């Protein structure tokens, strides 16, 4: 009798250990990220934490930093099961090969773009008044940034390069403009100017399109996809998501400054799939839906007639002083930041 029971007991014990191992593994959500950038993306990591806190799972986030990690390598690591989750700017390739959590992480702030430049370029750039004017200048962008595809398909000149070379190239005037999301620019600029004192923000223009970071999980991992989706939906319902969004210093600063810019040009994002394009508007900041063949209602008719071929919002300047920069004409045009 004892001999007959022994295999059964061993089987039960093996099943228990296997199950316990899976539970232990499930308690930690692993994410890989490029070394040295974790603090810059503190807000995005907070969003993932919010999703976990508001889900039904008892999970914590474990971040592994890897030197020189690229976006394409991150995708391959996720496919191979070397990491559980990643986040990145929307791209058709990521959306097709991975499972996307269809709630934008920064409410679309990643698609609210401002521009950095070398101060020697400011005289020419301050003459930009229309989207056609902006398209006369080449824009630097990361080699694998989806923004480069979006801008190229909208008729912009784009100069692609690895992310870690962009600021040196801008300093050396390889291109006149470098695109950054507004909240990224305000967050990065103080440190950048210590290394590159001649790099400044272009004070008057921004470019807007529907675009953002999304969280991605491995294809087939629908359980984790649903867990993270439910967590973010609950965070929105409780107000926790908006509290995190509005209290982030870089985002709140960017929202305030974007509202003061005199020229904001809105373009379509042609790379979005139908599902992402039709995500509930409540998850996006601002109104990103417009008809490019009609004038924007926000265009002041007494000031300008908006070109029918483009979506453009030109606001008259009600307050010529802007808190984030002061433009003064000295022997050379200078821009000073005051935080």
Positive or negative, the CA dihedral 105, 111, 115, 116 is positive
Query: Can you say whether residue 3 is alpha, beta or left, with left for phi > 0 and alpha for psi between -120 and 50 degrees?
Result: alpha
pLDDT(16) > 50: no
- Tens of pLDDT along 179-205? 999 999 988 888 999 999 999 999 999
Report which of 251, 274, 229 is spatially closest to residue 96, judged by C-alpha positions.
Answer: 274
Strand partners, 313: 264
Q: How far apart are CA 115 and CA 178, in angstroms?
A: 5
- 3-class secondary-structure state, position 38: coil
Report which of 311, 316, 318, 336 is spatially closest to residue 326, judged by C-alpha positions.
Answer: 336
pLDDT of residue 37: 87
Distances (CA, A) of 300 to 263, 297, 315: 12, 8, 7
Report which of 13, 310, 326, 28 is spatially closest to residue 155, judged by C-alpha positions.
Answer: 310
- 3-class secondary-structure state, position 311: strand
User: Which structure tokens are listed for 214?
Assistant: 């999304």
Report which of 241, 230, 261, 246 is spatially closest to residue 324, judged by C-alpha positions.
Answer: 261
- Tens of pLDDT along 104-132? 999 999 999 999 999 999 999 999 999 99
pTM (predicted TM-score): 0.76
pLDDT of residue 108: 96
- Tens of pLDDT along 74-87? 999 999 999 999 99
User: Which structure tokens are listed for 209?
Assistant: 């399109």
pLDDT of residue 329: 27
Q: How far apart are CA 208 and CA 265, in angstroms?
A: 6
Q: How far apart are CA 3 and CA 333, in angstroms?
A: 91
- The alpha carbon torsion through 318, 323, 329, 330 (nearest 10 deg) reads 160
- Tens of pLDDT along 259-317? 989 999 999 999 999 999 999 999 999 866 543 322 232 333 333 333 333 333 333 22
Cα 194 to chain centroid distance, Å, stands at 24
User: Which structure tokens are listed for 100?
Assistant: 């996307």
């Amino acid at each position: 009798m004892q001999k007959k029971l022994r295999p059964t007991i061993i089987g039960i014990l093996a099943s228990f250990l296997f199950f316990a191992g899976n539970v232990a593994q499930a308690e930690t959500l692993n994410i890989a990220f490029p070394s040295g950038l974790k603090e810059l993306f503190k807000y995005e990591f907070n969003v993932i934490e919010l999703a976990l806190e508001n889900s039904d799972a008892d999970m914590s986030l474990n971040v592994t930093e890897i030197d020189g990690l690229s976006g394409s390598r991150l995708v391959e690591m996720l496919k191979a099961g070397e990491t559980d989750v990643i986040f990145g700017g929307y791209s058709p390739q990521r959306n097709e090969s991975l499972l996307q959590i269809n709630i934008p992480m920064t409410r679309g702030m990643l698609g609210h773009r401002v521009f950095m430049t070398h101060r020697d370029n400011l005289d020419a750039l301050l003459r930009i008044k229309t989207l056609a004017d902006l398209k006369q200048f080449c824009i630097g962008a990361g080699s694998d940034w989806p923004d480069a595809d979006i801008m190229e398909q909208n008729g912009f000149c784009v100069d692609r390069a690895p992310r870690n070379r962009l600021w040196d190239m801008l300093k050396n005037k390889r291109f006149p403009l470098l695109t950054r999301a507004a909240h990224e620019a305000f967050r990065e600029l103080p440190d950048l100017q210590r290394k590159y004192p001649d790099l400044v923000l272009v004070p008057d223009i921004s470019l807007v399109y529907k675009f953002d970071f999304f969280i991605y999980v491995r294809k087939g991992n629908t359980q984790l996809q649903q867990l993270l989706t439910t967590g973010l939906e609950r965070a929105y319902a409780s107000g926790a998501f908006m509290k995190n969004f509005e209290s982030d210093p870089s985002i709140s600063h960017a929202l305030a400054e974007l509202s003061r810019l005199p020229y904001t040009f809105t373009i379509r994002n042609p790379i979005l799939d139908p599902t992402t394009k039709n995500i509930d508007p409540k998850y996006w900041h601002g109104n990103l839906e417009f008809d490019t063949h009609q004038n924007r209602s926000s265009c002041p008719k007494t000031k300008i007639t908006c070109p029918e071929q483009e979506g453009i919002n030109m606001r008259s300047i009600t307050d010529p002083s802007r808190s984030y920069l002061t433009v003064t004409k000295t022997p050379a045009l200078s821009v000073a930041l005051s935080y």
